[in-house]
Structure 1
């Protein structure tokens, strides 16, 4: 009735330090408080988290990211030093809370929320720090790729914030990255211009492709090989930038390129 979370004995956190993460999660989910002695012991034993395997810490982190409002437990974890034990560069502040809120109101509801939250949590980290976390937590390849992609996209944010890039430039800056990483970047960036360009890519540009295919090019006399892919990429760029708008226009463009190469 007092809405307190209490450990059973003084060495509870020493016996199993993952109870620290679970205690914070339940405290925030239920709206309870850590009982004063329990809180004192948690602070005393916080360094016991360093004795826990990355696999077990990953499981506790996944549980927190699966909560309705994971930022609450993360904020408490930062206050008490648990988040710094995961990595000293991790932060859970008002900015992260806003980003998590944006993620919940996302126009892309089918994206896995845990992966999106993790990408946002790790967004401020350097590539080296992300590499350490991936190794320590033994993240699955798919999840590791998402946060690596998020870091790579972040490196190109200055170009995405360019007020007037060509559509093909936006496409090349984002193509090949996991959609979840791209969405995470749109929530993480402070640039409204970059957000607008990311939305354009997600909603439109990534679906644009030429009307001609490899077989069409072969029928036009182009020999099989790398040049087929090269020409298809050039056609995609022309489509993206509005230089061609029909199949016939693509055919004429290819014929023009072929004529130039035979000169």
Structure 2
């Protein structure tokens, strides 16, 4: 209960500072509109905001799911295959070192302005932390535990399922917790580069029409969405018994 009270007090104070600090400091509304103006603009365009938010949410969820699935598969391949570790892992590392925003226009060229390019951009931003987390978790299993399982006559499948998966799960959870906000960023970047709908497109449209209050409303919705999705991932991670409430 105390934690919830502290959270409510903090965000309430933040809202008050935003609302009254703008006028107190003499900040022009086109630079930073007060919170009330942002909320009014969002409510006035609520149908458009809700529609664009739904598009972005779908892009994030699908891209995140593909990134998690692809990241787990790649992490397992790199861990269990020496050939993949020597060939594919350096390629993935090199791909990660490239600036994602520079690669985002290629998604438009390859996949067009539709839904697929946003999924590709989301995947591009989100999959690498899952690969590294999966690989790190699997590689962190002590060698003596592997030997112990073999001494007990466990099959490779039993060793993987009963030893490697539980050992890798904490690292994997940390990876997807990092990946989720990156998935939101990837979807928004993809919409910035080229889109006809979505919150990133709404921000671009509001900026072009000098509607800073609507732009901040879209940013606020993105922030709430990213925070809520991260909270869902964290709550789901609490179901993992070997991490318990320490997550």
The two structures share one fold, judged by TM-score above 0.5? no
TM-score, length-scaled by structure 2: 0.25
TM-score, length-scaled by structure 1: 0.24
Q: Bigger radius of gyration, 1 or 2?
A: 1
